Amino acid sequence: MTRRSALLFPAFLTFTLAIFSCKTPKNIYYAKEIIDSSQVVTIPQISIPVPLIQPYDLLLITFYGKGIDMTLMLNNFGGLETVKVFQSSTSEALRPGYLVSPEGFIVLPQLGQIKVAGLTLSQLKADLTEKASRLMVEPSVIVKFSSFKVTVIGEVASRGSITSQREKLTIFEALGLSGDITIYGLKDKVKVIRTQDTTTIIGELDLTSKDAFKSEFFYLKPNDVVYVPSNGFQQQQQTLNSVFPIVSIGVSIITLVVTFLALSRN
């Protein structure tokens, strides 16, 4: 190694490490095929899943009909459980509703214990309307989830549970409510964790492809968990940041030694 190359090598090594430590992560667009297309893109609509009532769901049930006394009895909200809901903003809110027991039951005033787990909201509405008809004239029942809750974790701007008052929620809506995926998240490997009875299903969506709109996980279900994995850039950056000072000290020592040796030969 010549004297000149010996002096340039440490500087080159330091410059190379600095370049790699400042590398910008690759940006990945949502549904790039649609963005790049100048034509109208038509995607067949997939069927919207009908959520089933599960243990620990919170239900709002309201009865209407002729006979004020019986209506008030059936709508005895003093019998509703009030549960504490933890929101992503770390604030707490109290939300009334009938909490489905671990065994899948709720207890209604005048109607007693009713099995609800595994039913759709429409099925429960029909069942309650039939039961209420024994107590009141021309009953009408409204049944809905107190909130449509999903949890979003991983590389998003705001992690935590989000709620919607509607009975359907898409993966894009959930990510939007979470502040979107950060530049460190993998948009092509988003996981949806779904529990059905005693089975846990994990699905993967490539949100950079229009095929995501056809996935069975495009529409979320209550209590789904959305996980956005990291692209690893932050971990690499942390490793480089921890190694760079050591390498810099080593390069400085090598530079001093080489310079000393070069000067001593003169």
How far apart CA 74 and CA 71 sit, in angstroms, is 5
Q: Give, in order, the Cα–Cα distances in Å from 112 to each of 70, 76, 78, 79, 237.
A: 15, 12, 15, 11, 60
Strands lying side by side in the sheet with 148-154: 160-164, 148-154, 225-228, 190-196, 199-205
Between these two residues, 119 and 24, which has the higher pLDDT value? 119
Nearest to 87 by CA among 5, 163, 8, 18: 163
Domain limits, the chain: 3-25+233-265, 32-48+148-228, 58-145
Nearest to 52 by CA among 106, 101, 123, 109: 123
- Tell me the one-letter amino acid at 246: I
Looking at domain 58-145, its CATH superfamily turns out to be wza like domain (3.30.1950.10)
**Residue 237: band (very low, low, confident or very high) from pLDDT cuts 50, 70, 90:** low
pLDDT at residue 244, rounded to an integer: 61
Please say if the pLDDT value at position 11 is more than 70. no
pLDDT at residue 198, rounded to an integer: 76
pLDDT at residue 160, rounded to an integer: 92
CATH class of 32-48+148-228: alpha beta
**Residue 227: band (very low, low, confident or very high) from pLDDT cuts 50, 70, 90:** very high
Q: Which residues contact 147 (CB under 8 A, 6 or more apart)?
A: 58, 85, 95, 163, 164, 165
Please say if the pLDDT value at position 123 is more than 90. yes
Q: Convert the pLDDT of each residue in 146-194 to its tens digit.
A: 878 899 999 999 999 988 777 788 999 999 999 999 999 999 999 999 9
pLDDT at residue 137, rounded to an integer: 85
Q: Convert the pLDDT of each residue in 41-88 to its tens digit.
A: 666 667 777 888 988 888 889 888 877 777 777 776 544 444 444 344
pLDDT at residue 148, rounded to an integer: 81
Please say if the pLDDT value at position 214 is more than 80. yes
**Residue 234: band (very low, low, confident or very high) from pLDDT cuts 50, 70, 90:** low
pLDDT at residue 266, rounded to an integer: 61
Nearest to 54 by CA among 114, 106, 118, 142: 118
Average model confidence (pLDDT) for the chain?
A: 77
How far apart CA 129 and CA 108 sit, in angstroms, is 13
Contact between 122 and 130 under an 8 Å Cβ cutoff? The reply is no
How far apart CA 64 and CA 47 sit, in angstroms, is 31
Please say if the pLDDT value at position 243 is more than 70. no
pLDDT at residue 33, rounded to an integer: 58
What mean pLDDT is predicted for residues 89-117?
79
**pTM tops 0.85, yes or no:** no
**Residue 125: band (very low, low, confident or very high) from pLDDT cuts 50, 70, 90:** very high
Between these two residues, 7 and 108, which has the higher pLDDT value? 108
* DSSP letter for each residue of 76-117: -GGGSEEEEEE-TTS-EEEEEEEEPPTTSEEEETTTEEEE-T
How far apart CA 196 and CA 265 sit, in angstroms, is 78
